[in-house]
Amino acid sequence: MATFHKRGLKWQVQVRRQGHTTLTQSFTLKADAEAWAAHAA
């Protein structure tokens, strides 16, 4: 499952999956963050 947080001017995405390490990435555009989260999940 992905969670989105606004950190200053950027969006931080965290994808947590059971049995896997947590993936975290920051993006300028929320649309980019959502696309990355869909691919990572």
Q: 16: phi > 0 → left, psi -120 to 50 → alpha, else beta; which?
A: beta
Dmax over Cα atoms in the chain, in whole Å? 31
pLDDT of 5:
97
Residues 35, 39, 41: CA angle, nearest 5 degrees: 115
**What confidence score (pLDDT) does residue 41 get?**
83
Q: Are 36 and 27 in contact (CB under 8 A)?
A: yes
Instruction: Give the pTM.
Output: 0.86
pLDDT score, position 21: 96
Per the structure, how many domains does the chain have? 1
Q: Looking at residue 38, what is its pLDDT?
A: 95
pLDDT of 7 reads 95
Q: What is the extent of the structural domain holding 21?
A: 2-40
pLDDT tens, position by position, 2-33: 999 999 999 999 999 999 999 999 999 999 99
Amino acid sitting at position 28: T
